[in-house]
Structure 1
C-alpha cells in the first residue's frame, strides 16, 4: 500500500469498517460484561436506551443533545417511534426533556451513565489487554481527528442538524481509562461518517428510507464514493504513515 492509496478520501473508505468493527466489539463486550444487567437495574432498555446511545454527551455535567441533533442521530428510524421511546425514558425518570426540545440526563440518568462508564472501563481493559501501545496510539490519533473535524464543521457551518456535532466532543472526565477513551472516540468518529453518508445520499436525491433500500450497484457505489470524499476532511490531520499505522492498529485489536 503506497501513500497515493492512503490519500484522505481513500483512507476514509478503508478505515470505516475497521472503526466499526472495533467499536461494535467494545459495545458488545459492554453489554455482555455487565451492561445488560446494569440496564435492568434501572428499568431495562425502555428506560436506558437513549442514555446509552447518547452517553458521551449526556454524561457530561449539563450535557444536552438538541432536537436537530437527536433527529440526525436517529435519522434512519421512525420519528414517532423514537418520540414514544423517549417519552418512556422521561417517564422512567432517566431523561429530562427541555422546553427547547433538547435532552439532558436526570440525576438518576447521570448515575446510570457513571456506572456505564465503569462497565466500559472494565470490559475494554479485558478486551484489549496486551495492546496498550496500540490503544494509546489510537486514542491520540482519534483525538486529533475529532478536534480537526470539529474545526472543519465550525468553518463550514455544518453544526445544525449534524449527528457529529450533537455527539462531539465525547465527555472524558479526568482519569478516564484509555479503553473508554478509545471506545467513545471511535463512536463519535462514526457519526462524522454518518453525516457524510447522509449528505451524499441527499445530494443524489434520496431520503433515509430510499437510501437504505438501494440495492448493490452503480448508484450505491457512487454514494459510497461520495461519502468517502465528504468524510475525508479530518484525515488530513494525519500524515500518510500515521494513517497506515492507524489502520494496522485497528486491524490488530481483538474483537
Structure 2
C-alpha cells in the first residue's frame, strides 16, 4: 500500500484536524444563525448562556459538572480574571451554580436552556446534513470509537485536560445522528487542543506566547509534536477507515 493510502496516525492527525474543524464550525454557525441567537436572548443573551453552550456536553448530563481545572483547560487562552467575571454573570443570571471549590453545574434554568439548545441542534444538523445520512452515520460510528479509545488512553496515562473535562459527550436516548456527530466532533477537537497545549508547554511556551508565535521552524516543530500527541486515538482505525473519515468530512456541506 503506498504512502498516500497508508497514512500513519500522526500524519492523519494533522490532515483530519482542519476537516473536523470545518464541519464543526459550519454546524455551530448554522445553529447561531438558525435560531441560536434568538434562543440565547430569551435567556439573557451571551452573558447568561455562552458558557453553557461551551460546556454543554458535560453540564447537560444528569449530575454533570466541570471542575475548576477543567474550566481552566477549556479556557486556557483567555484571561483568567475575565473568565471568572464571565462565570459570575452566568451565576447572576441564574444559569450556572458555582461551588466553593470552583466546580460549575447547570441550574434548573440552565438545564432548560440546554434542552432547548439540544432541540435546536437536532433541527439544524438535520437540515444542514440532509441527504448525507449514510455519511453522517459512518462518521458517528467512527467518532464514537475514537472518543472511547481516547478516554482509555487518558485513563492509562493519567492525563487530564479539556478533553477529559467534557468527554464523553452527553447523548440522551434517541439522539439523532446529526446532533451526535456535532457533539462528538466538538469533543474530539478538545483532544487535539490538549495535545497542542502539551506540545507548546514542552517547548517552553505559555498560552500567551504561543498565540503570538510567528510561522517558522519553531511553530512547525510544535505543530508536528501536536500531531504526534494527538495521534493516539487514530490507531484504532485502519488506514482505509482513516481515509473514509477524511473523505466523509470533506463531503459534508458547510
Matched, 1:238 2:237: yes
Residue of structure 2 equivalent to 1:139: 140
Deviations 1:39-60 (A, max 9, x none): 0000000000000000010011
- Other-structure match for 1:188: 187
Task: Give RMSD over aligned pairs.
Answer: 0.9
- In the TM superposition, what is the alpha-carbon distance from 1:101 to its structure 2 partner? 1.1
Would the aligned equivalents of 1:5 and 1:11 in 2 still touch at CA under 8 Å?
Answer: no
- Distance in 2 (alpha carbons) for counterparts of 1:78 and 1:177: 36
Instruction: After TM superposition, give the deviation of residue 5 of structure 1 in Å.
Output: 4.9
Which secondary structure state, in structure 2, belongs to the residue aligned with residue 64 of structure 1?
coil
Matches within 5 A, 1:1-255: 2=3, 5-159=6-160, 162-255=161-254
- Alpha-carbon shift at residue 148 of structure 1 (Å): 0.2
> Which runs of at least 4 in structure 1 moved beyond 4 Å after TM superposition?
none
Give unpaired runs (5+ residues) of structure 2. none
d(CA) in 2 for partners of 1:181, 1:29: 16
Distance 2:220 2:4 in 1: 23
Gaps of 5+ in 1: none
Mapped contact 2:96–2:107 kept (Cα < 8 A): yes
Check the 8 A contact 2:13/2:231 in 1, yes or no: yes
> Aligned-pair distance for 1:241?
0.3
Q: Matched residue of 1:65: which SS? A: coil
Aligned equivalents of 1:89 and 1:193: distance in 2? 28
Q: What does the per-residue CA deviation read over 1:82-105, in whole Å, with 9 as the maximum and x for residues that have no partner?
A: 000000000000000012210000
Q: Which range is displaced more, 93-102 or 223-232?
A: 93-102
